[in-house]
Amino acid sequence: SARSEGSVFQAFSRHVSALDLVGLICFLDDKKEYLVVQAAAQPKMVKIKLDELIGEDVRGFRFHLKNTGLHHQVIDEGKTVYLQEWIDIFLPFFKQEKKLYVKTYIEKFPGAGCIFSPLITTGNIEGLLVVFGARLSNEESMIVQAFANQVSAALENARLFANLQQAEIRYRSLFEYSIDGIAIIDPGSASILSGNNKLGEMLGYPRDEFISMSIFNLIAPEYKGQLANAYDTCLREGQVIFEIPLLRKDGSEFLSQVSGILIEAEGQVLIQAVVRDITETKQAETALRRRADELSMLHDFSLDITSSHDLPSLLKKIVVRAANLLGAVGGCLYICDDERKEVRCVFCHNTPTDYTGQLLSYGEGAAGVVAASRAPLIIDDYRSWEGQVIFGNETLSLTGVITVPMIWQGEAAGILQVLDNTDERTFTKDDVELLALFADQAVIAIETTRLLNSERKAREQAEELREASRTLAAENAELFESQKQRAAELEAVRQATLSLTSSLELESVLYSILHSTLKLLPDSHNVHIFLYHAEDGGRLTFGTALWQDGRRGSPIAEPRPEGMTFTVARTGEMCVVADMNTHPFYANIAPNHPDWALSIVGLPLKIGQRVVGVMNIAYNKPRSFNDAELRVLCLLGDQAAIAIENARLYQQAASERRHLGLLYDVSQALGGSLEPDTILDNAIRLTFQALGGLTADAYLYDPYEQRLSLRALYGRSVDNLEELDRSLGIRPGKGLIGWVLENDTSVVVNDVNKDSRWNPVPDLDEGAASLIAAPIPGELRPVGVLVVVHRRVSAFRHDHLELLQAVCHLVGLALANAQRYKQVQDLVNLLAGEQDRLLSLIEGLPTGVILLDSDYRLVVANTLGREILEAFGIVGGRERIARLGSVTTQELLSHQDDPLPLEISLEGELNRVFEAQARPLSGESMQWIITIRNVTRERENQLRIQMQERLATVGQLAAGIAHDFNNIMAAILVYTDLLTQDLDIYSTNRERLKIIREQVQRAASLIRQILDFSRRSVMEQTSIDLLPFMKELHKLLNRVLPESIQLELIAPADPFMVRADPTRLQQVFLNLALNARDAMPTGGTLRFEISALKISQLERLRKPFPPPGKWIRISVSDTGHGIPPEALPH
């Protein structure tokens, strides 16, 4: 029953001391070289203490195993050893001045033997139990070994109890502080039996309110069918994962992911449900899909407006498409006049009033404000906007207004406005960004159409001039050729614009730009495009390169920080190098490349003032450029910048869509697994499939070996993963992977061969060029690392790293959930075992134990408790127990603080008395423990004791009276004898003296009976033969008993010799005969039977009385009605 090692040691000392023995419990130290004393015991009669003998505290005293000589037999083989000569084993451990005391101490145990028995816990020898004392022989070795096994079991139980308490605390912590809601559900009633605080926070209920609620009350009616199907699946297959909206207490809904699994606890099957709020995740997916749809629509609209060359039709398309793009009712387009600082409405679509032709000054109205500021403007409710402009008797019905500038070469060429008239619509920053992109496309289309119209008009004028004047034919022809070339260039720009907008794939867009540029500039040698990342520290990355002969390849040289390409990117200004041999940019550069150019143009690719890239156009000979050529290049650069930005946005949206899909797939794959290796295999497989590359690895930190263990590998086949893992030997801080774990930092390495932390593994990392790695988060520190390796340099972007970090977060949660699930299952098993032990203990109690809920309904009871309830007429079920016999349950519970139990009487055929006590049981709901005990036999014994005490008092009083009365009778008898001897007494008087003498003798006999009653008379035993004695008694009873009673004496004709007092023996049989007479008022048979009886030693074992030997049995029986019930207690 001990719950700690200290209690076991105290019990050991107490029991061994009580046996007048000396005992020790010794444990092996960590190196198994010494035995360390943990507990000691000695007889109380020995005054010399062990501490005094040793000279220090005996607890903690150390014995070296080599000195004891017991290592092989006891420690190695686990045998119990008995030694008669053992003093020499222990003397070397004592100081010289203490050895004399030790011998004196041992002499107090003459002929003492010593027994050494191993202490074995969980199959391992933990130490020794040593016992020595007087008259201790080898025969006691088995007893001492059994005692040592009991001590070992007690120590193991005490440790298990301590571990169980810690496990219960950890389970409660995991349960209460989980980031997800957890509920335990009854499969039969679908009601919630328990749940954590997080579940209450999600649902908006206090814990005491959602307990016992049905899970079908937490959803809207239209989802009950879905919940019922999932519920049935969980009961049928053991687990289920599904998504469903849940209702909060205030009536609001939130989308949740529910993971249900069947568990077994306390002997019954329950459902454990884990609830996660995924509302924000779903909203993000919806927003991403909407963004992708908007970009796709923007692409289609851009193709549509660039295909039109009629300016009025183009303006109408722009306004209509803009309104459709944002799902609004209408819109307007204004043209800016910077000289007059005015904007003029040139087209309206579906507006309350036709604003066409209306003029607004800069700063007036929404369009004027945007024209002055060059910044977009969102108005949530135009009716209450302080800058509103009303034309005539117009009734304002507009609510949301969004206005963006149409920038052309750094100046506002126009204003695009979208209107809505619904109170529910509110424009967002995403709408502004989308409309701004469309405005950039629109202004390019407008300017392109203007140029085409201008060229068309110019061609018409040239044709008129040629017809009008033959004399200027040559001049006009030259002018015509010039204009024709200009038109061809513009047509080429238009065709390039069409080809650029035909695809949204970045690689295809870049190739189209270069192909269109080489086609537009046939004398150019090659074209390179570098993408500029201003938000990433002004980094340039190579896009693509194309030569006039169709070759594609790597750049001739990487951009230098102070070179032309970086200068163009940083300044946003075009750079023209007519001769590279004389330009400062190339003063220190040796032309050692076969494709080295002699002239080059660095063209910034800009959207507004933001540079998105640089296009370098190279020629293989020195060349000058006129304004027309540079103007066409600028126009081409603007078109290319828009196409690149659109492709980037499309690529970003597609990447985000793929990333969200990956995260969803990973969460689905990890949610149904509880094995760490399966979790890691699924994670790296899906991540590798999404990001591509050479290999993907997963490592987990092993705290015991203090190293990173390779647990999963994808992309390469390995014969023996465990052997490869052992050969790696990665520790925190070692190599790139160890650095990520040690610093808890994610990393993107563009070129692993330039990173000093990179430590490649032969065969495994062959061909590796770049990688990304992220730590798997744990509760306090990272628990592992995920790594993706690529064979291409700079293969990974920052968004790839963010994706890997999100995957690691999911993996960390999955690993934590798997560990929590294992801990919960272990704890449930431990709790179930502990509960079985407690139930067994309660079942064996000699007291009835009953557990009632707050409504006084029976929850559980042990066997004795159920028997007592049946005596009160309560049989099974969950009925409410209102009273126990004459006492109500409420009255019993009101005495919960009384130190003494409450007595309950139960009247019936057999009156019974019970004692009951009630105590409250703390917990989530009020419960009561009632202990009840049947004390009828105790009460009867108490009454008997009280009667005996009263009879003893009466006997003492009677003995005193009888003693005095006996003295009086003695005097009368003496004087009667004296008078009888007097010869002068008449004969008549002698007869009278004889009568007096007889009466005095009868009085003396009466006095002896009184003394017998008081147990103060002297027993006068003699040897008598019972058969003649019983025959004389038979004659006496024939004279005393009525004639209606027939006497029988049954006995063989053998002698039945006994030692007894005849007077007392006669009184015994006379009392029995008188009782039989009273039981047979109408007559009957009284039978005496004598027989010999011999009790053997075997029968003595079965019956404690009488002891073995020869006995005479006298049976007395009658045919009367027996003893009345009211006389039975006496």
Give phi and psi for 335, each to the nearest 5.
Answer: -105, 135
| pLDDT tens by residue, 1003-1061 | 777 777 666 655 545 567 889 999 998 988 888 788 778 889 999 999 998 899 999 88
Confidence of residue 99 (pLDDT cuts 50, 70, 90): low
d(C-alpha 557, C-alpha 1054), whole Å: 140
Does some domain include residue 558? yes
Last residue of a domain, one of 972, 987, 1018: 1018
Tokens representing 213? Answer: 């609620």
d(C-alpha 896, C-alpha 892), whole Å: 7
Match 């060229």 to its residue by tokens. 455
Q: What is the largest CA-CA distance in the chain?
A: 217
- Predicted TM-score of the model (pTM): 0.35
d(C-alpha 888, C-alpha 868), whole Å: 16
Average per-residue pLDDT in the chain?
Answer: 82
The count of structural domains within the chain is 8
Does some domain include residue 660? no
Which DSSP string do the residues of 730-768 spell out, in sequence order?
B-TTSHHHHHHHHHT--EEES-GGG-TT--PPTTTSTT-
Say what the pLDDT of residue 415 is. Answer: 93
Q: Any idea what the CATH number is for the domain that residue 964 is in?
A: 1.10.287
List all residues 6 or more positions away from 882 whose beta carbon is below 8 Å from its beta carbon.
856, 888, 889
> Are both 530 and 558 inside the same structural domain?
yes
Tokens representing 166? Answer: 């810690």
Alpha-carbon dihedral of residues 660, 662, 663, 669, nearest 10 degrees? 150
The larger pLDDT score, comparing residue 879 to residue 35, is at 35
Q: With the C-alpha atoms ordered 639, 640, 646, 649, is the resulting torsion angle positive or negative?
A: negative
> Are both 426 and 515 inside the same structural domain?
no
Confidence of residue 1062 (pLDDT cuts 50, 70, 90): confident
> Are both 374 and 431 inside the same structural domain?
yes
Say what the pLDDT of residue 1015 is. Answer: 56
d(C-alpha 511, C-alpha 619), whole Å: 19
Q: Any idea what the CATH number is for the domain that residue 460 is in?
A: 3.30.450.40
**Helix H or strand E encompassing 928:** strand 927-934
Region 101-116: mean pLDDT is 72
CA distances (Å), 1058 to each of 1023, 1050, 1052, 1115, in order?
6, 18, 16, 16
Say what the pLDDT of residue 504 is. Answer: 65
| pLDDT tens by residue, 458-502 | 777 767 766 765 555 555 555 556 555 555 555 555 555 555 555
Say what the pLDDT of residue 463 is. Answer: 74
Does some domain include residue 911? yes
The SS3 of residue 1102 is helix
Does some domain include residue 226? yes
| pLDDT tens by residue, 305-319 | 556 667 888 888 889
> Are both 418 and 356 inside the same structural domain?
yes
Query: Is the pLDDT at 739 greater than 90, yes or no?
Result: yes
Which DSSP string do the residues of 903-924 spell out, in sequence order?
EEEE-SSS-EEEEEEEEEE-SS
Match 């803009």 to its residue by tokens. 322
Does some domain include residue 663? no
| pLDDT tens by residue, 247-264 | 988 888 888 989 999 888
> Are both 347 and 424 inside the same structural domain?
yes
901 close to 909: Cβ distance less than 8 angstroms: no
Say what the pLDDT of residue 405 is. Answer: 94
The mean-pLDDT minimum among 229-233, 463-467, 739-743 falls in 463-467
Strand partners, 788: 696, 772
| pLDDT tens by residue, 785-832 | 999 999 888 888 888 888 888 889 888 888 888 888 888 888 888 888
Last residue of a domain, one of 422, 444, 464: 464
DSSP state of 863: H
d(C-alpha 452, C-alpha 432), whole Å: 30
Query: Is the pLDDT at 575 greater than 80, yes or no?
Result: yes
> Are both 347 and 315 inside the same structural domain?
yes
Say what the pLDDT of residue 748 is. Answer: 92
Does some domain include residue 582? yes
Confidence of residue 999 (pLDDT cuts 50, 70, 90): confident
Strand partners, 602: 575, 616
Does some domain include residue 833? no
Over its C-alpha atoms, the chain yields an Rg (Å, rounded) of 56
| pLDDT tens by residue, 696-732 | 999 999 988 889 998 899 888 888 888 888 888 888 9
> Are both 321 and 434 inside the same structural domain?
yes
CA distances (Å), 529 to each of 184, 499, 540, 750, 770, in order?
61, 17, 10, 20, 23
| pLDDT tens by residue, 656-689 | 666 667 667 777 776 667 788 888 888 888 888 8
- By CB atoms closer than 10 A (0-12, 13-18, 19+), residue 156 is middle
Say what the pLDDT of residue 962 is. Answer: 78
Give phi and psi for 530, each to the nearest 5.
Answer: -115, 135
Q: Give residue 237's domain range.
A: 178-277
1001 close to 1034: Cβ distance less than 8 angstroms: no
Confidence of residue 1087 (pLDDT cuts 50, 70, 90): very high
DSSP state of 720: -
The SS3 of residue 191 is strand
- Closest by Cα among 630, 648, 649, 602 to 409: 630
Q: Any idea what the CATH number is for the domain that residue 1036 is in?
A: 3.30.565.10
DSSP state of 826: H
The SS3 of residue 699 is strand
Does some domain include residue 661? no
> Are both 999 and 1104 inside the same structural domain?
no
> Are both 235 and 329 inside the same structural domain?
no
Say what the pLDDT of residue 305 is. Answer: 59
> Are both 528 and 545 inside the same structural domain?
yes
Question: What percent of the residues of the chain are helix, what percent strand, and what percent coil, each to the nearest 5?
Answer: 45, 25, 30
Which 3-state string (H, E, C) describes 41-90? ECCCCCCCCHHHHHCCCCCCCEEEHHHHCCHHHHHHCCCCEEECCCHHHH
| pLDDT tens by residue, 929-955 | 889 988 888 888 888 788 777 877 777
> Are both 998 and 1121 inside the same structural domain?
no
Sort residue 1000 into left (φ over 0), alpha (ψ -120 to 50) or beta: alpha
Report helix angle 5-18 to 141-176, nearest 10: 160
Last residue of a domain, one of 432, 448, 464: 464
Query: Is the pLDDT at 47 greater than 70, yes or no?
Result: no
Say what the pLDDT of residue 924 is. Answer: 67
| pLDDT tens by residue, 339-377 | 899 999 999 998 888 888 889 999 999 999 999 999 999
> Are both 426 and 511 inside the same structural domain?
no
Region 420-437: mean pLDDT is 82
